[in-house]
Amino acid sequence: MRRREIIALLGFLSVGGAMALWGNLASLFWRPRFNKHTAQTLTAITDLMFPGDGLPGATELGIHNRIAAMSDLHALITDGVDWLDRRAKQQGAPNFLALDESAKSAAVEAAYASDDVATSQFIIKLRFYAGRAYYSEPVIKSAFPYTGPPQPDGFPDFQDPPR
Amino acid sequence: MSNGAGWDVVIVGAGAGGAAAAYGLCQRGISVLLLDAGPRFDPAVDYPLTGSDWDAQDFPEKPGSTGKFTFAPGQKLTGVEPLLQSGSRGLGAFVTNGVRWMDKYHHVRGIGGTTLHFTGESHRIHPAAMKMKSRFGVAADWPIDYAELEPYYIRAEELIGVAGPQTQGARWRSRGFLLPPHPLSYAARTLGRGAAKLGLDWQANSRAALSVAWNSRPPCNYCGACNLGCPRGDKGSADITFVAAAVATGRCTVRPDSPVVRIEAGGTDRVAAVLVGRPDGSLERIPCPHLVLACGAVESPRLLMASGGLANESGEVGRNFMDTLEVTVGALHPDPQHGRRGLPDDAICWDFNAPDAIPGVIGGCRIGNASSESEIKGLAAFALAVPGWGRAHAQSVRRLWGHSLHVGAIGERLPNDNSRVDLDPEARDRFGISLARISSWLAESDIARLRFMAAKSRELLAASGVQEIFESYSSWDWFAASHVFGTCRMGADPATSVVTAEGRSHRWRNLWVTDASVFPSSGGGEAPSLTIHALALRTAERIGKDT
């Protein structure tokens, strides 16, 4: 899945831009401020990104907790949440969580489209890790055909139209 | 012939070339020590492919299974290449800083080498592609011809159990494939209808995967996951074919986790020993009555250069590096295909494989069903390739899952002065040995070939009824090579080559090379493993004959 990871994680950027981002991130002073508000915002974004649409949503499956446990993402997430909160304040709301659903959606879209590389990477990485975890969940996979493990049965119907 | 050493021949590298050389030597009654820097893999334990998280896995990495190397800066990209720019409809261009991205050299260290994770295409090189200099004025001629290699192809194919069609055009055969071709998958037949509209020949790919039971191995069950490792043993990786057969003779000792860090030269025209790194950093000296290098086109020249420029009297060690020239295009078909079902890359078109088959450029290519190169092996990978998020994204994933088709082309890569492997002046491994540094530069002819490959791939997809191309990537802006060649070129002239037509160093009488580094030209996109096997079997017949 390595090429897929590269496409998903770096695809939005030039490779040169990604390298510059890495340099910037590495030079950041560590600020351990991943707090309850950060976690709640992360939950809201995860829910917005992978709501389920008839299947269990990502937060229902605890995907947000898995992302929160990825400590190497904390700096990126806390800065991203800051960005979203600042934007919400400019719109008269106390923070991102206070926005209604459509405004939340617009804010995440704006973060993704931001010229600030770290902010867009916040959304890209969140989408990647949450999406990968979500669509790897057995309950989600079981709703799609041909998602089971390759072995031990293989695909006896490989010559036939898909079922 | 052992001269007091424990073995008649020491082989460094247990991949396609080293394993086949070991088998060939053991068949002759010669004892072999087969060393590899990497570990031994246990298919049942290391890649069972039965877990629900199978699609989150790659071919497993174990300690020592990936070599270290560095890249010289990437080539500056010039011009606008809409067909070659790697990117996707949803994500845009992947590389926008104007420099070719030197990403990765795909390989596996271990008993079986890169064949452990290869797709298992089993190709003979086009006969005309062995005579690129004399017939087309580029690259170099092989010092042997197809007829010389053909009996060794047969021998390798029979041990592996290669399944293939009756004929393969210019690749004449003295005997047909012993195993029938694999039936084409549903997705490959969809592409086949497109090929028929274009008047292209579309046939079963010849595969190192069993279509029927063979040598106590079961037939393939079409799980589509060859690149993750084959737990059943139907894929003919070198560990379960050549290595197993060599060990069965009782004359082959296999030592994984044994990195050779230096070759010790002897007095005049013979190498004396190899030095093997131990986990504690010390070195073990192993005498070598004969030494076979089979570490691949990156590590073999590195080892020679790191051993005081051994066998480099011509100055050609590390030069003439050729990497994989590749295009992959992904598209969405109106109807579900679920192309993961079946053998990856099960169908192929050889129509443009001859060196003069592409209009206006020398060097051929092959085009095929690229279900393997796409790396969309599971739902998560596909979902992430669908742009966006939210309900609309969920609905798109549900609607489009299984609709993707990929076509890919691999083409001839001509050598040039700017593409080479040398020693990195700074980076070293844990034994203090300089790492290999890869430089790759595409000439205009390579780019022209890529343009043709991309255009033809898109044409085939369009003829197959796809509605939307959603991604495309190529080696124009993204170096991610798996087939590498040419850095210890074979030839008749000691001034322009490293080894003889037999694979022996022009100077060192007991030093041999049996990997793709000896290829004078890359071929027109053929997978190289079968040719490596054949060359290694041929070399194994010569070793020790005049000592």
Q: Does residue B40 belong to any structural domain of this protein?
A: yes
User: What's the average model confidence in pLDDT over B24-45?
Assistant: 97
Q: Does residue B1 belong to any structural domain of this protein?
A: no
Determine contact: A23 vs chain B, CB below 8 A.
no
**Does residue B541 surpass a pLDDT of 80?**
yes
Q: State how many domains chain B has.
A: 1
Looking at residue B248, its pLDDT comes to: 98
Residue-number span of the structural domain to which B325 is assigned: 9-46+65-542
Nearest by CB: A131 against B55, B96, B384? B384
Angstrom distance (rounded) from CA B75 to CA B94: 16
**Which residues of chain A neighbour B55 with C-beta distances below 8 Å?**
1, 136, 147
B35 bridge partner residues: B12, B255
3-class state of residue B183 by DSSP: coil
Question: Cβ neighbours of residue B27 under 8 Å, at least 6 residues apart?
Answer: B249, B540
Q: Does residue B547 belong to any structural domain of this protein?
A: no
**Does residue B112 surpass a pLDDT of 50?**
yes
Q: Helices B529-542 and B146-160, interaxial angle, to 10°?
A: 110
Q: What is the pTM of this model?
A: 0.93
Residue B83: closest CA among B523, B479, B367, B459: B459
User: What's the average model confidence in pLDDT over B164-190?
Assistant: 95
What are B425's two structure tokens?
Answer: 């002046």
Angstrom distance (rounded) from CA B536 to CA B529: 10
Q: What are phi and psi of B105, to 5 degrees?
A: -105, 110
Question: Cβ neighbours of residue B449 under 8 Å, at least 6 residues apart?
Answer: B325, B358, B361, B363, B365, B411, B412
Q: Does residue B82 belong to any structural domain of this protein?
A: yes
Looking at residue B394, its pLDDT comes to: 96
How confident is the model over B470-489, as pLDDT tens digits?
999 999 999 999 999 999 99
Determine contact: A102 vs chain B, CB below 8 A.
no
**Does residue B190 surpass a pLDDT of 60?**
yes
Q: Does residue B308 belong to any structural domain of this protein?
A: yes
Looking at residue A55, its pLDDT comes to: 95
Kindly determine whether residue A153 and residue B402, on different chains, have CB atoms separated by under 8 Å. Answer: no
How confident is the model over A29-40, as pLDDT tens digits?
545 488 999 999
Fill in the amino acid letter for A104. Answer: K
**Does residue B90 surpass a pLDDT of 70?**
no
Looking at residue B12, its pLDDT comes to: 98
Q: Which CATH number fits the domain that encloses residue B401?
A: 3.50.50.60
**Does residue A12 surpass a pLDDT of 50?**
no
CA distance A150 to chain B (A): 5
Looking at residue A17, its pLDDT comes to: 46
Q: Check: CB of residue B101 under 8 Å from CB of residue B477.
A: yes
Give the helix/strand (H/E) hosting A158: none
Question: Cβ neighbours of residue B330 under 8 Å, at least 6 residues apart?
Answer: B88, B374, B376, B385, B404, B405, B406, B469, B470, B471, B472
Q: Does residue B81 belong to any structural domain of this protein?
A: yes
**Which residues of chain A neighbour B389 with C-beta distances below 8 Å?**
48-50, 108, 127, 131
**Does residue A21 surpass a pLDDT of 50?**
no
Looking at residue A9, its pLDDT comes to: 55
Q: Does residue B240 belong to any structural domain of this protein?
A: yes
Strands (E), B431-475: 434-439, 468-474
**Which residues of chain B neighbour A4 with C-beta distances below 8 Å?**
375-376, 381, 384-385
